[in-house]
Structure formats: C-alpha cells, structure tokens
Structure 1
Amino acid sequence: MDAAMKPPGLLQGKFIFKKLPNGNLDKTKVVCTLCNAELVYCRSSSSLKYHLNAKHPLANAEDAGPSTDVAQGKSRRQTTMFECNRGKPVSTALSAKLTNLLAQWIATSCRPISVVEDDGLELVLQAATGDPSYKLPARRTIMRRIHDQHAAEKAAKNEKMVEARCVALTGDHWTSVNNDNYLGVTVHLIDASWELHSFALGVMKTEERHFAEACARQFLDVANQWGIADKISTIGTDSAPNMVAAGRILPFEHLPCAAHVRRTYTTLSQQKHNLALPTNAEYEKLAKLEKLLEPCRSQMMILPILCDSKLPSPRTSTSGGEKINLEWLKVATALDPRFKDLKCLPRAEREPVWAKLSELVKREEPALQPLGEKNPEPPKKKTALLLMGSDSESDEETPEDNTVERYKVEPSASLDQCPLKWWSDHTAVYGKMAHIARKYLGTPATTVPCERLFSLAGHIVQKRRSSLSPENVNKLVCLSDWWKKEK
C-alpha cells in the first residue's frame, strides 16, 4: 500500500506519543487529542479503543467505522441510542428530573420511601441512562421533593377553592394498622366553567375520642386550614350517632350518606326477620326493570326512588331514626335538567319542591347584587296586560319572579346529556338559579370519596411502614389522590 494511503498511527491520529522536554517521544505513553488524557501504551490499542468508547463514543463511531466495515465491503450500521449514551455522565438537569419523577412515582403508586435504596432499581436506571456511575437520591432528598411537590399542588388546589362560591365536604374516620385514628376529608365543587372537581383536603390524625363535639371541631379545623369555612354548603358523613350529632352542631347542611342507609336494607336478607322478600319471578322482573332504569343510575336520582318506596330501611338511618336529608336531594333532582319533571315523586310532593326552589331564588338576589349598586327601578307591567287595560299592581313581575316557571316549561334534557354542560349553556338565562344549581349538583349523595382515601391510606400505612409520621401520611395520600385524578 502506498505510504500516502496509510492511515495515521494510533487509531487515525486520535492519540499521539507523549513528547518529552528534550523533544524525543516517549513510546510508553500516549495522549488523547480529544481530551488530552494521558494513557499508558503497551503496543496494544485495546486500552485506547476502550477510552474512545467510554469517553468519545461519537468520534469513535464516525471515524473508526469506515476503516473496518467499509474497508471490508460491509454496510455501515447506524449507532444505537444506547451506544451513543454509553458511558456519558448524567447531566445535572436530567438527574434533577429523575429525582422529581422518582418522588412522583413513590407518591402516586404508594411505594415505600426505602425503594431508593434498592440496588436493582439503581441498576435499571444506570442501564437506562447509560451512566454506570449514577446513584439513586437519598431518602431525605426524596422526602424534600415530596414536600415541595405537595406545597405546589396544594397552592393550585387552593386557587380553585378561592374562585369557588360554594363547596361541599365529605368526611369519615379511619383506623390504621397500628391503631392510629385519622379523619379523611374531601371537597367537591363546580367551578365557573361548570367543571366538577373532587379531591382530598387531607387525612388528619386525631388523638381524642370521637365525641360529637370533637368531630365537629375537627371538621372546622380542616375548613379553617383551607380558608373555606364560609363557603361550605353541606357536609356528608355516614349515619353513625356521633357523626349525626356533629352534623347538628355544625353550621352547615348535614347530608347523611345514602350508601350507608341503603346498605341497611341490603343486609336484612341475611338476617332472621318476618319481612316478606321478593319471589324468584319478582326478582326476574326486577332484573328487567334494572336494565330499563340503567340511565337513571345517577346518585341524585336513585335515592328519591328508594325513599318513595315502601321499604322500611331507606327512610331512616342505622342510628335510630335519623332521616335522610330528602329536602336537599329533591331540590337537587329538580335542578338536574334530565329529571326536572320529578316523575320519581308523587304529584302531591312535586309542588313543594318548586316552592322551595322559588324561595331559594329570592334569597339569592341580594347576594348577587353588586355592592354599591342602586336599587333598580320599579318593574314595568307586561305589554300584553297594558294593552288589555289592566291596572292591577299584582300583575307586575320581574324577570326573576318567573325564573322557576320558565325553567319548569323548559324541555327536559336527554338522559345521555351532561347536566353541567346544560347549565353552562343556560347560565345567562337562569343566572341566579344557575348558582343554586352549582351548589346542589356539586354535592355528592354518598361519602364514597372518603372511602377511596382510606384505600389509598391503607396502601401507604402498612406493617412495614407503620412508623410514618402523620404529616408524611397526609402529604402522600393527598398527592396520590390529586395526581391520579389529574390523569
């Protein structure tokens, strides 16, 4: 081969022999021309190739390839991502991102904090990043990130409640595996764009006995911590005697959980009693009826149906006579445009619901009038009445006076239509009634959201993690609930 065609020595000039002070070359040491690293040379290029693969994979792939594969007539293969990143140290930005993702994964999936000490997880991340020197963050680092993430998410949730005019709470107590008592509270609201939000406010550890006064005070503490005590419309609990008594103490409307009350009748079939149960033929008819009533599975609709039946249990709770808040649920059903005809109620019970709704609209007028606004001019008589020559002042009415009547004659929405979307389209027409609808339709009829919180808490507070502080339990449960609902 011609001398001009010979490639430069030491891997195509990427290494040169070290030059001594006297000008001679030291054949036992070489210097990398890419990073000026000094290496020992023992007449073998293996260590030099290893240095290129570890520190300069791109330069090695571009220049070393043609001298081998191309020279031998082989097609040049594209370098894989793993080969490009192999040996490349993880940047500071990527390391911080991995730490945040680890903290989010631990909180969302209810993983133990000790998972960051798992050697297997570290090996997986080292292989994924291509950096064999990557080390998992310490426990304290992860906990600091969880605290920071909780503060950021809490601020975002607080903004939603600041904008809301009214909210509803549901709460219940839970006992962990190490016999610690916690109060779980969730909030429910409909924002200005008619989107329903339901998320956890916290899981607070309680030390005192669950007397009614203590339960009421605990709910108020949570409300004051979030600054929503003056916005709460209802508070939903189970029908335990202490919760029912606490509902009487609190200055909010109490809404006993419909699911707990209905469960009483369900268990009657498993007990010794003298009640007549349905026959097999009647069960078959009920199965067909259930299929027909599938669109009516809404919580706000099914409860009045049950309460209007002759069953003994749904009218009273398990605590000895505490009735369900039927008045609230009936108004909520009337404000649902799909069921506003109130066919679930006897005819004699429908008119009092509309009278109640009219009263609520009248009460809402002062609250919606801007501060400092002068009283409007006396309403004018209808044009039709003036043409007829009527001079009776009793015929005078404002647009607000007939709001409920106009809503009653409005065509009912289809069963598959979202009631919140309907109210969003009709807010300008029924302004004051729309605010009432936002309050009533945003109130759940059950305390199921709290039960979900306790399921999350049960995954977090386990036998191997029973020493978690109440503060960490609260933040982990809240983050898991918030992030899962955002998905």
Structure 2
Amino acid sequence: MAWDHFTLVSPNKVRCLICPQELAYHDNTSSMMRHLRSIHHVGTPQMSNQTFNPPPAVSRKQQLDAALVDMIVVDMQPFSIVEDKGFKAFVNLLDPTYIIPNRKALGKKVDDKYKATKEKAMALVSKASAVSLTADMWTSIHMDAYLAVTCHFITEEVQLSTVVLGVQKFPQTHTAAHLAEAKDVLMEEWGIKWKVTGLVTDCAPNMIACANLLHLRHIMCFAHMLNLVVKRSLAQTPELEDIRSRGRKIVGHFKSSTAAKQKLSEMQRQLARPEHKLIQEVDTRWNSTFAVLERLFNEREPMGAALASLSSDLTPFTSEDYQAMHQCLDVLKPFHQATVELSEEKQVSASKVIPLVKMLKHYISSRCGHITHPLGMKLATNLKNNLIEKFAMLEKVTALSMATLLDPRFKELGFCSQVCAQTAIERLIRECAGTMHIELPAQSQPQSPPRAAPSNRLEDDSLWHSWTGMLVLNNR
C-alpha cells in the first residue's frame, strides 16, 4: 500500500506522491506508513468520511521498470543482463537513483507484461466475427520441435490484424491426432473454436489430416507450394547442380579463409564496388539458391580477380557458366518476386494467389522464346511443367477463387480457366442470393461482373508487367 503513494528518489530516500515531503528509506515502509496515517489519514477511521484520490501519475521507477521489461522482450535479452557489471554501470551513469530489479523480480515483471498483453489480444480477438489460422512446425538448433499457431482477422476499423496464439514445445510425435489436440486446446482457450473459417499449413499429410480432424477447411500455403515447384525443377536440372556445387565450395572458401575474405574485399574496393559478402545456400529455402547465384553473378569480377591471386584447388566459373547462370536467374526471378511479394503483404493475400500463378505461367511462356542457353531452356521447361502440375486444381479451391473474383484488381481476368471463373461467378451469385433470400429464376444465366480496369502499377517488376501485358491482350 505504501508504494502506491511513494516513489524512490535515491537508494535511501523516498518522496510522497501526495505532498512533496521526502523521507529516509531503510529497506522498510514503516516511516512511509506513519507519514500516510498522520499527515494524509490514509488507513485511519478519519478516511471513512473523506474522499482520497491518489495521483494517477506513474512513478519514475515504474516507468524505468517498464522500459527495462520492454527492452528484454523486444531485444530478446536474457534476464541475467541485470547482473552484468557493464549494464549496471551504464544504468547508474544514466540515473544513479534507479535500483535495478533482480532476476527474479524481472522475471515476474516480464510474466505480468505477458499476461497483460495476452488479455488485450484476447479482447481484440473476441470482437472478430471470423478468423483464419496459420500453423507451422520447426526444429530448433537444439533439436526441439515447436508448433506455432497464428490467428488472422479483420478489426472493427477494417484493418488486417494478426495475433500469435501460441508457440509451444512439441515433444509428442507429430501425428495428426496430437497436432489436432494441441490446436483444439488453443482455439478453446482463445474462444475462437466456432469462428475459424480456414487453416493454412504446408502440404504435409499430417497437417492436412489435422485440419480434417478439426473439421476445418484446409488451404495449402502458397509459398510452400511454390518452394516445392522450384526445388523440384532445380532437382530435374542436374546440369545446374554442377554450378551450384562449385558455388557452394567457392562460398565456403571465402567464408572460412580470412585471407580469401580480405582479398575479395580488396578487389571490390579496387573496382569501386560495395563490399558485399557471398551468401550461403540453405537447403530448406529455394530462394536462398536464387540469392546465392545472384550474388555470385554480380560479384563475378572481384571474385574472379581474388581467386586468381589465391592458391586454391577451386574451379572458377567460366564465361559460359556465367551465361547459363544469368539466364537461369532470369527464369527464377519472377518466382523470387512472387515469394517476396506475398511475404511482405500487409493486406489479405488470398486473392493474389491465383493471379500470381497465372502471371508466372505467362512469364515463363513468354521468356522461353528469348532463352538461348540449353540450361536456361531446360530449367524454364521444368518450371513450366511443374507449375501446371502442382497448381492444376488451384482455381477450384473455393476460398481462393472467390477471393480472386471479389478483388477489383482481378475479377475473372485473374483466372487461367474461364470455366473456373464462371463456376466461381455462379457460386458467388448463389451465396449472395441466399444471403439476401432471393430466389433465382430456374433458367437464368448468371452474368459476369464487369472486367477489371488495367492496373496502374508502373514499377519495373516482371510479374506485374506481365499482368499488364495480359490485360492489354484481353482488352483488344
């Protein structure tokens, strides 16, 4: 109670928040309680006939404690930082009167912050009439499995909002039943069990079966499907594997050798180029392959000069290798753009999936006539075939087709198949008629909505340029 009305101004002194009087402080609140009772009648019978309103201002210590908690959370710092000599000296120089909480007290404050933040998030989610979920699993560097479930919804201000429902250790076997049980507990806890309209996951059979067990509409993650398309296409192009293999060895050499790293930086400076480091490939993400090849191609001059002056058994790339690399990058570029665009999307992204696939197909088809290197042509053919195979049923996915149709940028022009577009139009009209309780004539033929106007997007972006080109052809 005493600390509700006092603030610590130094390790041995406190100040009353009701009056400006300062009191000595010796690790107990006796003097503060005596002051409150005798001067302000707090806690005495006289208070029964008085109205006492403590000032709402937050004390300096509370402000600093809150800032410390925010730093720990935002920067993911360990609690042990409050015991570090350098940190203590830094804080003491900033404010000698501030007493840093110990690890135990800090842990409690972080826990309180988590509970308060969770309560606010739950209140926000409770106002949503419908939500969608995304779920993913991964393994930490310590080989511990984790499950993360995220909730997406539209707020009352018509803004897309995202809340992480939970990231939890998952020691159980990754069966559909165990996954369904964990997700069901989270949905029950957050009160959204009957609000979920769809669950987005990767294409793993256990994830699909989990959605079926929960009776949720399952939607495959587009980025994951695109990742599978490109990885499969790369695997079907063994000639490119030789370039990738040599690239990995060259990158590894420059990463592990101090002399090679310094020589590369020296050559970049001599050529007046930025001192970019080479990039390592990550097996699980295809776009890391794109990043590796792009960096190797862009740094070919300083890298070649550095290798020529170093004694190593590495096989440098030839001019033909770089020509093949350049054309492969040209083919892979729109897939990289599609992945980045959806990952950076701040709005609902479902309506973009079908049009993006159409753009990718159009881009690959249009580029095939300009590719001269056999390796680039083979990669383009593999990408085109895998796109067609992997996304053959995409336009029949109700959630995606309806979203595309309702997006004024795309409407039925977003579809490759006009049959699928017409089916979506008929479904939309039926749903609207059902909502408005209108009975459609038996012989009536649904009319297509007006065609979308050409996009005004003018960035030098291959995907959207191909979309503009398709619109021009359709409007002729």
TM-score (norm 2): 0.52
2:407 match: secondary structure: coil
2:426 corresponds, among 333, 355, 362, to: 355
Rounded Cα–Cα distance in structure 2 between residues aligned with 1:337 and 1:293 = 20
Task: Decide whether the 8 Å contact of 1:305 with 1:344 is kept in 2.
Answer: no
Alignment correspondent of 2:449: 408
Q: Please list the CA deviations of residues 112-169 of structure 1 after superposition, one character each: whole Å capped at 9, or x if unmatched.
A: 111111121111111112x2x5431111211111122112211221122111111010
With over 3 angstroms needed to count, the CA separation of the structure-2 counterparts of 1:268 and 1:293, relative to structure 1, is: closer
Q: Give the structure 1 partner of residue 380 of structure 2.
A: none
Q: Name the counterpart of 1:256.
A: 220
State the alpha-carbon separation in 2 of the partners of residues 394 and 207 from structure 1.
Answer: 57
Query: Partners of 1:323 and 1:347 in 2: how far apart?
Result: 13
- Does 2:417 match 1:346? yes
Deviations 1:215-236 (A, max 9, x none): 1121111111100010000111
For 2:115 and 2:167, locate their aligned partners in 1 and report how far apart those are by CA, in whole Å.
Answer: 15
Query: What TM-score, normalized by structure 1, do the two folds share?
Result: 0.51
Q: Is the contact between residue 235 and residue 254 of structure 1 (CA under 8 Å) also seen in structure 2?
A: yes
Structure 1 residues 312-342: Cα deviation after superposition (integer angstroms, max 9, x where no partner): 4346669xx9979733212111121111242
Comparing 323-332 with 244-253, which one deviates more in the overlay?
A: 323-332
Q: For residues 346 and 265 of structure 1, what CA distance do their matches in structure 2 show? A: 20
Tell me by how many angstroms 1:287 deviates.
8.2
In structure 2, C-alpha distance between the alignment counterparts of 1:149 and 1:339, rounded to whole Å: 44
Q: 2:107 aligns with which of 143, 166, 175?
A: 143
Distance 1:291 1:204 in 2: 31
Mapped contact 1:235–1:252 kept (Cα < 8 A) = yes
Please state how far the C-alpha of 1:408 moved relative to its aligned partner: 2.1
Match of 2:352 in 1: 301
State the AA in 1 paired with 2:105. T
Question: Which structure shows the higher helix fraction?
Answer: 2
Deviation at 1:181, TM superposition (A): 2.4
What is the 5 A alignment of 1:71-86? none
Structure 1 pair 274–116 and aligned structure 2 pair: CA distance change class (3 A) = closer
The correspondence for 2:66, drawn from 100, 109, 112, is: 100
- Distance in 2 between the 1:116 and 1:295 partners? 39
Cα distance in 2, alignment partners of residues 96 and 292 from structure 1: 46
Task: Tell me whether 1:109 sits opposite 2:60 in the alignment.
Answer: no
For residue 413 of structure 2, give the secondary structure of its aligned residue in structure 1.
coil
Higher relative contact order (CA 8 A, sep 6+): 1
Q: Give the conservation status (yes or no) of the 8 Å contact 1:316–1:324.
A: no
Residue identity opposite 1:306 in structure 2: V
Aligned-partner residue type, residue 397 of structure 2? L
| Letter of the 1:164 counterpart | A
Amino acid corresponding to residue 144 of structure 2 in structure 1: D
Moved more, 172-181 or 227-236: 172-181
Aligned-pair CA distance for 1:283 = 5.8
Contact map agreement 2:405 2:412 (CA 8 A) in 1: yes
Tell me how far apart the structure 1 counterparts of residues 239 and 395 of structure 2 sit (CA, whole Å).
22
Q: Is this contact kept in 1: 2:179–2:210, CA < 8 A?
A: yes
8 Å CA contact 1:256–1:324 kept in 2: the answer is no
Residue aligned with 1:408, SS: coil
Q: Give the % identical residues.
A: 24
Aligned pairs for 1:56-95 within 5 A: 93-95=59-61
How many pairs are equivalent?
295
Structure 1: which 5+ residue stretches go unaligned? Answer: 1-34, 38-90, 367-377, 380-392, 396-400, 418-487
Local SS of the residue matching 1:334: helix
Which letter maps to 1:256?
Answer: M
Shift of 1:255: 0.7
1:313 maps to which of 386, 402, 424: 386
| 1:227 corresponding residue in structure 2 | 191
Amino acid at match of 2:211: G
Distance in 2 of aligned mates of 1:260 and 1:344:
21
Cα distance change of structure 1 residues 325 and 160 upon mapping to structure 2, 3 Å threshold: farther
Match of 1:237 among 181, 191, 201: 201
Match of 1:336 among 402, 407, 414: 407
Which range moves more in the overlay, 263-272 or 351-360?
263-272
Q: 1:119 and 1:199, CA in 2 relative to 1: closer, same or farther beyond 3 A?
A: same
**For residues 333 and 80 of structure 2, what CA distance do their matches in structure 1 show?**
52
The letter for the 2-side match of 1:221 is V
1:460-483, Cα deviation, whole Å (9 max, x unpaired) = xxxxxxxxxxxxxxxxxxxxxxxx
Q: What value does the CA root-mean-square deviation take over the aligned residues?
A: 4.4
Q: 8 Å contact 1:122–1:134 — kept in the other structure?
A: no
Could you tell me which amino acid in structure 2 is paired with residue 361 of structure 1? C
1:182/1:206 contact within 8 Å kept: yes
SS of residue in 1 equivalent to 2:142? coil
The one-letter code matched in structure 1 to 2:185 is: D
Distance across 1 between alignment mates of 2:109 and 2:429: 51
Change (3 A) 1:324 1:124: farther
Aligned partners of 1:255 and 1:325 also within 8 Å: no
SS in 1 for 2:384: coil
Task: Indicate if the aligned counterparts of 1:256 and 1:325 stay in contact, CA closer than 8 A.
Answer: no
**Alpha-carbon separation, structure 1, partners of 2:189 and 2:334:** 47
1:225 alignment partner, SS class: helix
Mapped pair 1:163 → 2:127: yes
Q: Is the 8 A contact 1:185 1:201 kept in 2?
A: yes
Deviation string for 1:42-80 (max 9, x for gaps)? xxxxxxxxxxxxxxxxxxxxxxxxxxxxxxxxxxxxxxx
Correspondence for 1:74 = none
| Change in 2 beyond 3 A, CA 1:289/1:115 | closer
